[in-house]
Amino acid sequence: MLMKKSNFLLVGVLLAITGGAFAATDADTQKQLDAIKGAIPKFAVPMREVGDRFRDIYPAAKGGNWALAAYMSKYMNGAMAPAKLTKPDEYPAWQAFYDGTFAAVNKAIQAKDFKGFEAAYTKVIDSCNNCHKGMGYPFIKVMKNKAPADTNVNYSLASEPGDVPK
């Protein structure tokens, strides 16, 4: 116990002595923060992950792997988190989409209702395409694909939507 207290005291003294040597100006700190922010993906990189996960949700639901469908949805939304910082004016449109339009897909996943899922999924595709067009990207057209993005996953493994860890 005495050794721990001595180590903490030593660290405290060293920090007090050298604190000035590591001090940065507000301008330096802001420059570093801007550099970090500049390195974080904007919308295109996370949206690529969203696309792959969205593409995998369909075969998972169709195959009865409801946990995988729920997992893909959860992490599809999480993939957009960097945009909160890098595109704060555009991120609310994503969040409104996920909480609004996409909610029907999540509801169908939780209910294990493939018919409802398919209808909601198709509406989401239309919504995605309208959004892309409205944001100046009409050349990005989402389609219901015939094959999943990841072909090395068992999409027909029976599972429950609640099986996804929190």
Write out pLDDT tens, residues 134-157.
989 999 999 998 888 888 999 999
Domain ranges, residue 79: 63-147
Q: Is residue 121 part of a domain?
A: yes
Check residue 158 and give its pLDDT.
Answer: 94
Residue with tokens 């007090």: 16
CA dist 70 and 57 (Å) reads 8
Only one residue has tokens 């398919």, namely 118
Structural domain contains residue 75:
yes
Q: Give the pLDDT confidence score for residue 22 in this predicted structure.
A: 53
Q: 3-class DSSP state for residue 85?
A: helix
Domain membership of residue 11 (yes or no) is no
For residue 57, what are the contacts with CB-CB under 8 A and spacing of at least 6?
A: 69, 72, 73, 76, 105, 109, 121
d(CA 55, CA 138): 19
Residue found by looking up tokens 């500049």 in the block: 38
96 pLDDT band (50/70/90 cuts)? very high
* Predicted structure pTM score: 0.76
Rounded to whole angstroms, the Cα distance separating 61 from 136 reads 31
Q: What's the total number of domains in the chain?
A: 1
Whether 139 is covered by a domain: the verdict is: yes
Decide if 71 contacts 116 (C-beta within 8 A): no
Q: What is the pLDDT of residues 4-36, one digit of tens each?
A: 554 444 445 445 555 544 556 788 888 888 788
Is 74 part of a structural domain of the chain? yes
Inside any domain, residue 67: yes
Query: Does a structural domain hold residue 14?
Result: no
Query: Does residue 39 form part of some domain?
Result: no
